Structure 1
Amino acid sequence: MIASPPRLRSPGRRAPRLPRPHRDDVLIAAAGLCGGLVLWGIGLDTKAVGLLPGAWVLVPLVVTAGLELLRRTAPRVALIAGTVALVADQFTAGSIATVLMFTDIIYAAVVYGTPAAARRIPRTTVFVTVAMTVGFTAWLQTVESLLIGVATALVAFAPASTGALVRNHREAAETARLRAEQTALLAEIDRTQAVTAERSRMARELHDMVANHLSAIAIHSTAALSLDDARTSRDALAVIRENSVAGLAEMRRLIGLLREGDGEREPAAAPALDALDALLEQARTNGAPSGLRFTLTDRRDAGRQDGAGAEAAGVGGTGSGGALPAPVELAAYRIVQESLTNALKHAAPGTVAVELGRTGRTLDVRVTSPFGDRPGPRAPGSGAGLVGMRERVALLDGVFEAGPVTTGDGADKVWVVRAELPVAPARRAGEGNTTR
């Protein structure tokens, strides 16, 4: 018969290592063993005689001391083997060191064991204490037999209940620590989201305020450079200066917003729909060289009065239509401003129409501009305008749409920006519109 070759262990696999005992467990085991040896050396035992006299008392002592090394790493094994060692100690002269180390093993089994063991061990010790008290009282029928029950409670129930209290306090402290960490994490998330939201808000404000003026400056500076005409250049420079001054004023207002709460100055008022007339007048000046005309139709009064108001068209006509929330007014103004800026950059010659309407619960904003084939924009853009408008509407839980729309005859197309801004909270959950 050919002997099979020995099985080689894979170099990548290692034999599992037993967990190393804790340093405190080593000290407890050494102290218990040394104390038991001293007591045995001076002849101090728990009983005068035993079935196994002499050095037999050292066997449970050594076993219990060795089990102390497992009180954290294998508390269940230590408890079972320690119980056997304690029972064996009763057949010898007995050592108080063995008993004390066994009480520590019970305590450790509750503190470091599984949650099920932590619940089961105290109940078991209560049952053992009661059974020992009743059994020995019925057997010996003496009052002194009650001392056996007291001794059993001190050895078993007392350390088990102490371990349960310590474990409960540790779990409560760990729960509080985790809750504190979770609170700190949520606070950090809230802070990050607040910073991100504020940065997005300031980015929208900066884009909407500056893009309009810089686009006009770019368009008219291009015209001044391309046309060799003194009057055209002079008119273009006048428009450039006007937009530069207006842009500087807007930048100062933005700085005022950034300094809110520092006590240096009152923040500048946010633009509202009452300023649309001036905004369109500026757009007419900036768009005239490109063949653009601008009109404003305000139906807010008609919407609130069920048709009793009159339509206002042209330059004037921004009726109040009742007070609107400040965020709604600012969002509507910025949407119109950004739409006019995009029209200056991309629209074909024609009419740019701004329409405002109000129902009982929403403010409708609609900007229509000619959409034709152009070789390129009149001024460079970042592409953030539509994103900013969409974000503004989403923050108010409204509806936003932007894109080309074919007119009735199908021959021409117009670019339509439409926003529905809620002016009052929804009455029922789920009534809010969604942003498309």
Structure 2
Amino acid sequence: MRLWKADARQTRIDAGYALGALLGGVVLALLGAYGSNNGVIYPLEWRLLPLGLGALAILLRRGMPMVTLYVGFVAFAIDAWMGLSAAGFLIFEDNVYSAVAYGWRRLHWWLGGLTLTGGVAAGLWFGTWAGEPRWGILLFLIVVGIMATPVLTGLLVRMYRDRADIAREHAAQVARLSEMDRRGAVNAERTRMARELHDLVANQFSAIAVQSAALLSRPDLDAATSRRVLDTIRDNSVQGLSELRNMIELLRSDDETVDEPVSHRLSEADRLVGRHRDLGLDVELLVTGEPRELPAAVDLAGYRIMQESLVNAGKYGDGSAVVRVDYAPRLVTITVDSPPGVVVEEPIGVNARAGLVGMRERAQLLGGTFRAGREESVWRVHVELPVMEETT
């Protein structure tokens, strides 16, 4: 538990207040602003004792507020015994205010109760002693007024300070939540960019790498076949670079209202299958249900998942694959089966796990399901993407 609650800056400020109160009290004493005790006037040096104790209490007002109250009561009692002075009264008011504003949180209840009790007792005694009830009522009002003003003032200041602390804490919490949201948005955007760049670049260039390795491993191919393979490699390179440029231009754009263009759709599955056939993959495409226009996110996700699955089939399969696309009323299902085969070594290492992670993320972001693994004699990629019906 900390005995001294004030920091260095607050202590310097309170020391200035204490010095000012001491000098002001001396000036008031020199001007004769004090009373007497049954006609006995105490000299100025005696008056310095309660005045110094009151100034000490001001010095302790925020560092040790409860000690301020105790020292202030002692100083006020001595000053009242000598004959109440203006300086002693004003300093005592500040001591009570400081104790309520900076000290024990429930102190105002105790001081209020003691004030009422003491005021009633003093009023009854003085009214009985003086033989005039009105003088007892007047003393009661004086006692209550002396204590009520600093107590209520300290209580109001404490309430406003507590509200300000709560407001600052709320603002700090809002700032922390905002920073967490910002970091979450940045991380989500980084993940999305990594997924898009993988699908834009890795798929195209991975196919190029596999096809190049296959071409280099077959020196017996005739010139026409080699040229056809090289043309396919060139087409994939040009397409990959074009998509990469589109992504870079989108990231450089300052217009926040521009959405990412959907350059590929699931309805282009036959073209995608055709390109992989040109690369030497024996692909069979089966479409069931009624093909229709899909939401952009579903269209792009379905196309990318099919593209990644075919690339993996070419890299790790036996050279064949079966693609099934089923258009249900509220669901689009894509299944790619490819028998495992001998893996063609790639000149450039590509982590297939990144592709699986990307496909799963795409499906989960749309509320769909994703499953990839060996089933019986084939490697199967199965994804279900829900299609939300648009309401008008």
TM-score by length of 1: 0.76
Distance 1:251 1:266 in 2: 16
Counterpart selection for 1:393 from 363, 369, 372: 363
User: Helix, strand or coil for the counterpart of 1:355?
Assistant: strand
Instruction: Report the Cα distance in structure 2 between the residues aligned to 1:39 and 1:26, rounded to whole angstroms.
Output: 20
Does residue 241 (structure 1) correspond to residue 234 (structure 2)? The answer is yes
* Structure 1 residues 198 and 299: alpha-carbon distance in aligned structure 2, compared to 1, 3 A threshold: same
SS at structure 2 position matched to 1:397: coil
- Cα shift at 1:337: 0.9
Shift of 1:158: 0.9
Q: Structure 2 CA distance, aligned partners of 1:362 and 1:47?
A: 98
Higher helix share: 2
1:79–1:267 distance in 2 versus 1, CA, 3 Å:
closer
Correspondence list, 1:64-143, <5 A: 64-117=54-107, 119-120=108-109, 123-124=112-113, 127=116, 131=120, 134-135=123-124, 138-139=127-128, 140=130, 141-143=132-134
SS of equivalent residue, structure 1 residue 92: helix
Closer/same/farther in 2, CA of residues 43 and 219 from structure 1, 3 Å limit:
closer
Aligned length: 379
CA distance in 2, matches of 1:226, 1:187: 56
Counterpart CA distance in 1 for 2:25 and 2:348 is 94
Question: SS state of the match for residue 91, structure 1?
Answer: helix
* 8 Å CA contact retained: 2:35, 2:41: no
CA-CA distance at 1:385 after TM superposition: 0.6
Measure, in 1, the Cα distance between the counterparts of 2:346 and 2:226.
21
8 Å contact from structure 1 (residues 215, 344) kept in 2: no
CA contact (8 A) 2:76 2:89 kept: yes
SS in 1 for 2:83: coil
**CA displacement at 1:99 relative to structure 2:** 1.5
Distance 1:158 1:329 in 2: 74
Q: CA deviation at 1:404?
A: 1.6
How far off its partner does 1:414 sit?
A: 1.4
What amino acid maps onto 1:106 in structure 2?
Answer: V
Q: Identify if the C-alpha distance between structure 1 residues 332 and 239 changes in structure 2 by more than 3 Å, giving closer, same or farther.
A: same
Task: Choose the corresponding residue for 1:368, options 320, 337, 357.
Answer: 337
Task: For 1:344 and 1:18, locate their aligned partners in 2 and report how far apart those are by CA, in whole Å.
Answer: 73
1:326 has 2:296 as partner: yes
Q: Provide structure 2 residue ranges, at least 5 long, that are not aligned to the other structure.
A: none
Match of 2:243 in 1: 250
Structure 1 position 263, deviation (Å): 9.0
Question: What are the equivalent positions in structure 2 for 1:188-199 lying under 5 Å apart?
Answer: 188-199=179-190
Specify the alignment match of 2:284 in structure 1. Answer: 295
Match of 1:35 in 2: 24
Of 65-74 and 49-58, more deviation after overlay is shown by 49-58
Q: CA separation of 1:263/1:197 partners in 2, compared to 1, >3 Å: closer, same or farther?
A: closer
Taking the aligned partners of 1:135 and 1:355, their CA distance within structure 2 comes to: 101
Cα 1:267–1:395 change in 2 (3 A) is closer
Residues 385-407 of structure 1 show CA distances to partners (whole Å, capped at 9, x for unaligned) of 111112112212322221222x2
Q: Does 1:186 align with 2:177?
A: yes
User: Is this contact kept in 2: 1:136–1:148, CA < 8 A?
Assistant: no
**Does residue 1:356 correspond to 2:347, yes or no?**
no
Query: Taking CA–CA contacts closer than 8 Å with sequence separation of 6 or more, which of the two structures ends up with the larger relative contact order?
Result: 2
Distance 1:30 1:92 in 2: 23
1:424 aligns with 2:388: yes
- Secondary structure at 1:90 match in 2: helix
Letter in 1 for 2:92: F
Whether 2:31 is the aligned partner of 1:62: answer: no
1:218 aligned onto 2:187:
no
Q: 1:162 to 1:353 in 2, by over 3 A?
A: same
Aligned partners of 1:99, 1:341: CA distance in 2, in Å?
91
Q: TM-score, normalised by structure 2?
A: 0.84
Distance 1:79 1:414, change over 3 A: same
Distance 1:136 1:240 in 2: 111
1:48 shift after superposition: 5.8
Match of 2:373 among 403, 408, 411: 403
Whether contact under 8 Å (2:335, 2:381) holds in the other structure is yes
Which of these residues, 247, 251, 255, is aligned with residue 262 of structure 1?
255
Match of 1:176 in 2: 167
Partner of residue 209, structure 1: 200
Q: Quick one: distance in 2 between partners of 1:343 and 1:379?
A: 17
Residues 57 and 93 in structure 1, CA contact (< 8 A), matched pair in contact too = no
AA matched with 1:175? I
Specify every segment of 5 or more residues in structure 1 that has no aligned partner in the other structure, as ranges: 1-15, 302-318, 408-412, 426-436
> Among the aligned pairs, what percent are the same residue?
39
Which residue identity does 1:368 align to in structure 2?
D
Q: Distance in 1 between matches of 2:141 and 2:61?
A: 25
Separation in structure 1 between the aligned mates of residue 115 and residue 263 of structure 2, nearest angstrom: 74
1:346 aligns with 2:316: yes
The list of structure 1 runs, each at least 4 consecutive aligned residues, that deviate by more than 6 angstroms after superposition, is 16-21, 263-266
**Is contact 1:60-1:89 (8 Å) kept?**
yes
Report the Cα offset of residue 84 of structure 1. 3.4
Q: Deviations over 1:20-43 (max 9, x none)?
A: 781222222223333333444444
CA displacement at 1:113 relative to structure 2: 1.5
| CA apart distance, 1:267 | 5.8
Does the C-alpha gap of structure 1 residues 84 and 361 become closer, same or farther in structure 2, counting only changes over 3 Å?
farther
Q: CA deviation at 1:217?
A: 1.9
Structure 1 residue 266: deviation in Å? 8.5
